Amino acid sequence: MLTFVDPRGLVKRAIEPYRNSLDVHKNGGAGITVGLLANGFPDSELFLRKLGSVIQKRLPQIETKIWNKGNPGITVPEQILRTIVDHCNVVVTAYGH
């Protein structure tokens, strides 16, 4: 006789659905700042700069700002993190290869 065991754990807390309260499409992105954070791998910043250009073509009023933490082996320096939190509504991170 075979016994099947469900490998998933039990959920201990209620599942909260994700609701995005920010409409980046409203007014062509006016008033929205997207932070682009490269992790320091080669081409990560270049990729995000190109992504920023595409975002701005689709949403001409949106603002993008880019940071590069410079070293993929470290966490985001506190000063960069604080600036991103203080000035951005949305953040996209990426790494290169």
- Tens of pLDDT, residue by residue over 7-37, are 888 888 888 888 878 888 888 899 999 999 9
d(CA 45, CA 53): 12
pLDDT tens for 52-95 read: 999 999 999 999 999 999 999 899 999 999 999 999 999 999 87
For residue 96, the model assigns a pLDDT of 60
CA atoms of 44 and 61, how far apart (whole Å): 24
d(CA 91, CA 36): 6
Residues 6+ apart with CB under 8 A from 36: 48, 49, 51, 52, 64, 65, 66, 67, 91, 92, 94
pLDDT at 8: 83
Full-model pTM: 0.76
What tokens does 59 get? 């949403």
